[in-house]
Chain A
């Protein structure tokens, strides 16, 4: 992670202009070339430091999603997690420390699609799925303030 990388991550989590050559706009502000910016972003993406470059959309703008939780007996966790992760509609699946130990996000084009996936998972595993849809979003998303050390 060099100075250019840090400057891009610190300074450009928002406010990248919507213009035909956005990387040139970043380059100009940082006093480097457009190619250097593109090359550095490619490396950051390849090594996993960046998830992506682009727009962050408000949740449930296109499609519907929900947070779901299951209480799975420890000796069944591997199998149940595999069943859950195997759904394309599941894009996050975490094991967490709680009696409700499997937490995942279900996303589909509409709420019926979400409900169907939840019912399918309940049917396939025989375990109740707690459906915890977002009722209100309070996050003021300005990007994440990373502390370099």
Chain B
């Protein structure tokens, strides 16, 4: 990643213009030719910097109003293998290892589950529990009760 790649990320993080030739606009804003922007993005896609390219639905607007952050206390020496299995589930939108803060916060695996209602979030949580088995020493579902702010990633270069 060089400065031009970073400029492309900044220019496209809020989405592509819905115009006939959207990369022309991106190219103009970063001072490259459209073909160069596309080549660089192709490389970022191959290297994994870009995970996917396509439409990004808003779960909430599409009826997935229950958003449960499930948090798990699993042994550190098993978290990578277990995390990868849970992270592959299609109802999990984020799955991260994060630090514990004892004694306030014993959980080290965070898996965001989206559902149309609490019942479906709970069903999905049980599916995660089946995968984790005895490794899940404790877990919680933290539902969001209010969205106080939500905007796309907005970094300036």
Return chain B residues, CB-CB under 8 Å to A88: 154
Return chain A residues, CB-CB under 8 Å to B95: 137-139
- CB under 8 Å from chain B, chain A span 57-110: 57-58, 61-63, 65, 67, 69, 71, 81, 84-85, 88, 90-98, 100, 102-104, 107-109
* Interface of B, helix, strand, loop or mixed by DSSP: mixed
- CB under 8 Å from chain A, chain B span 99-155: 99, 101, 104-105, 110, 114, 116, 140, 142-155
* A103-133 near B? 1/0 per residue, CB < 8 Å: 1100111000000000000000000001011
| A145 pairs with B97, CB closer than 8 A | no
Docked complex Cα distance between A48 and B60 (Å) = 9
Tell whether A48 pairs with B61 under 8 Å between CB atoms, given A54-B53, A132-B99: yes
| B144 pairs with A94, CB closer than 8 A | yes
* Residue total for B at the interface (Cβ-Cβ under 8 A): 79
Tell whether A138 pairs with B83 under 8 Å between CB atoms, given A85-B149, A107-B155, A130-B101: yes
Chain B residues near A (Cβ < 8 Å): 1, 6, 9-10, 12-16, 18-24, 34-35, 38, 41-42, 44-45, 48-59, 61-62, 64, 67, 69, 79-80, 83-84, 86-88, 90-99, 101, 104-105, 110, 114, 116, 140, 142-156
Q: Which residue of A lies closest to B39 (CB)?
A: A18
Return chain A residues, CB-CB under 8 Å to B45: 18, 55
The answer, among B20, B57, B144, for a CB contact under 8 Å with A51, is: B57
| B92 pairs with A34, CB closer than 8 A | no
| B105 pairs with A100, CB closer than 8 A | yes
Return chain B residues, CB-CB under 8 Å to A58: 48-51
Q: Which 6 A-B pairs have the closest CB atoms?
A: A52-B15, A138-B87, A138-B83, A14-B52, A93-B149, A136-B97
